[in-house]
């Protein structure tokens, strides 16, 4: 589809090789989606305004003077700085969109129409384009004008009402959870639309918004309301439908213990040396354990407090019951290394290489590749401008 493939730099390979992505997104949801597409072989051209992606300035922390926030979601891309208010730069943006297989943007709904880069305008010259728009609250009246920040969506969706201690204040998640989720949903939508295009030759417009991603991603909690008429509430680290499924104190700190079914609970009781609890009518089945959690919890804690958490971790895991210590981020990365996940990749050569988290998808035949470190602003501007002004064959 893309007229004139980019020839400079490392050629893409992978399941999406040969596809061109015009990335008009910034911050997190859009850049995360386009990075995933780039990892899988798509050629991504990151279009930035003269000031660059906002996350370039979201610091600390830094690596070699660059915000690690920006570094985390922008590998495998080429950057060109274009001022869409400038006629010459706008013409280059139009040509990029005309050649693209995929366009991704997260302007406010209708924002790109001012520049002739909205879906309807792009589709007139590129009818097979797969065009993905990411917003905070959708494109309908009432939602289109609202700012799409993840924290606002965490609040409005109800997520924060579920997070924190029951008698404390609501808390946000420690990461922009619904930005990431919306980026994943956008990626799924793009891939589905590409399959449709392969079958029919037709492009289409995909819309994803953070609030819909949040309400879908709240799964059992939103289902409790819409299907059961129950409004969930904050329970700290407890689960509304399972017990034990929370941190429990050991001799030197907490251990997450998740006995998700009756068989796992029996195994847990055996490891703890209290097998009789699994036969107690109050605790034999999950529904009754959940109803009598205040009676059961101190009985489990009494045993767990007799040994360090890592000792219990080894024994409980060996018995087939899920559990785990509450790690810091560095410990979490180290644990992934211990279990053979090889979580960190270095993108780029030598001193210019940037450590990054590995793409989480494993393919048996078409592995993700890490070709380009996150670009500096307009790093590829000259080559991209030349390419866009050349003939349709590049």
Residue 13: the pLDDT is 84
pLDDT digits (tens, 9 = 90+) for 220-233: 999 999 999 999 99
On the question of pLDDT at 12 being above 80, the answer is no
Distances (CA, A) of 139 to 41, 108, 134, 143, 359: 30, 8, 10, 6, 31
Q: For 220, phi and psi rounded to 5 degrees?
A: -65, -25
**Architecture category of domain 20-217+343-389 in CATH:** 3-Layer(aba) Sandwich (3.40)
pLDDT tens profile 106-146: 999 999 999 999 999 999 999 999 999 999 999 999 999 99
Report the 10 Å Cβ neighbour count for 126.
22
Q: Which residues pair with 134 in a beta bridge?
A: 208
Q: Let me know: does 66 contact 56? Beta carbons within 8 Å.
A: yes
- DSSP category for residue 168: S
Q: Where is 123: in which H helix or E strand?
A: helix 119-125
pLDDT of residue 351: 82
Contact by Cβ (8 Å): 157, 229: no
- Residue 11's pLDDT is 53
Contacts of residue 309, defined as CB under 8 A and 6 or more positions apart, other chains included, come to 250, 251, 252, 253, 254, 255, 325
Average pLDDT (249-253) is 96
Strands (E), 9-67: 20-24, 43-48, 62-63, 66-67
> Domain spanning 245-338 has what CATH number?
3.30.1540.10
Pairing between strand 43-48 and 77-81? parallel
Residues of the chain with CATH 3.40.50.10540: 20-217+343-389
The closest of 282, 302, 304 to 293, measured between CA atoms, is 282
Neighbours of 103 (CB within 10 A): 30
- Cα separation, 222 vs 126, in Å, equals 39
In this predicted structure, the answer to whether residue 49 has a pLDDT above a threshold of 50 is yes
Residues designated as active site: 179
> Which run of H or E residues covers position 218?
none
Q: Among candidates 67, 116, 76, which has minimal Cα distance to 96? A: 116
Q: How far apart are the first and last CA of the chain?
A: 13
For residue 362, the SS3 value is: coil
Q: State both tokens at 183.
A: 């980026």
Distance CA 93, CA 260 (A): 52
Predicted TM-score (pTM) above 0.85: yes
**From CA 159, how far away is CA 305, in angstroms rounded?**
32
Q: What is the pLDDT of residues 347-362, one digit of tens each?
A: 998 888 999 999 999 9
Q: Report the distance separating Cα 223 and Cα 231, nearest Å.
A: 10
Cite the residue boundaries of each domain of the chain with CATH code 3.30.1540.10.
245-338
């Amino acid at each position: 589809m893309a007229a004139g493939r980019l020839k400079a730099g490392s050629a893409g390979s992978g399941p999406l090789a040969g596809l061109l992505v015009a990335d008009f997104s910034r911050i997190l949801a859009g850049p995360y989606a386009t990075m995933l597409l780039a990892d899988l072989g798509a050629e991504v051209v990151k279009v930035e305004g003269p000031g660059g992606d906002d996350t370039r300035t979201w610091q600390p922390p830094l690596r070699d003077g660059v915000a690690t926030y920006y570094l985390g979601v922008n590998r495998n891309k080429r950057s060109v700085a274009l001022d869409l208010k400038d006629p010459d730069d706008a013409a280059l943006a139009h040509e990029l969109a005309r050649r693209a297989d995929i366009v991704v943007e997260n302007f406010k709904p209708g924002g790109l129409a001012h520049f002739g880069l909205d879906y309807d305008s792009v589709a007139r010259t590129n009818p097979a384009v797969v065009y993905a728009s990411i917003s905070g609250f959708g494109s309908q009246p009432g939602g289109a004008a609202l700012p799409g920040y993840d924290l606002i969506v965490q609040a409005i969706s109800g997520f924060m009402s579920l997070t924190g201690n029951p008698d404390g204040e609501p808390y946000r998640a420690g990461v922009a959870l619904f930005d990431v989720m919306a980026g994943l949903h956008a990626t799924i939508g793009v891939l589905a639309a590409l399959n449709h295009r392969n079958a029919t030759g037709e492009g289409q417009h995909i819309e994803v918004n953070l609030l819909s991603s949040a309400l879908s991603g709240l799964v059992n909690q939103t289902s409790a309301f819409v299907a059961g008429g129950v409004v969930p509430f904050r329970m700290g680290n407890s689960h509304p439908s399972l017990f034990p499924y929370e941190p429990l104190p050991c001799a030197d700190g907490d251990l997450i213990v998740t006995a998700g079914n009756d068989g796992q609970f029996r195994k847990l009781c055996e490891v703890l040396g209290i097998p009789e609890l699994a036969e107690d009518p109050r605790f034999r089945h999950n529904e009754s354990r959940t109803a009598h959690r205040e009676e059961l919890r101190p009985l489990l804690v009494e045993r767990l407090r007799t040994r360090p958490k890592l000792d219990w971790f080894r024994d409980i895991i060996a018995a087939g019951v899920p559990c785990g210590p509450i790690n810091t981020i560095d410990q979490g990365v180290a644990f992934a290394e211990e279990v053979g996940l090889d979580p960190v990749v270095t993108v780029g050569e030598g001193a210019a290489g940037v450590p990054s988290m590995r793409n989480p998808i494993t393919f048996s035949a078409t592995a993700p590749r890490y070709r380009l470190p996150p670009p500096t602003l307009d790093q590829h501007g000259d080559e991209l401008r030349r390419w866009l002004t050349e003939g349709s064959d590049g």
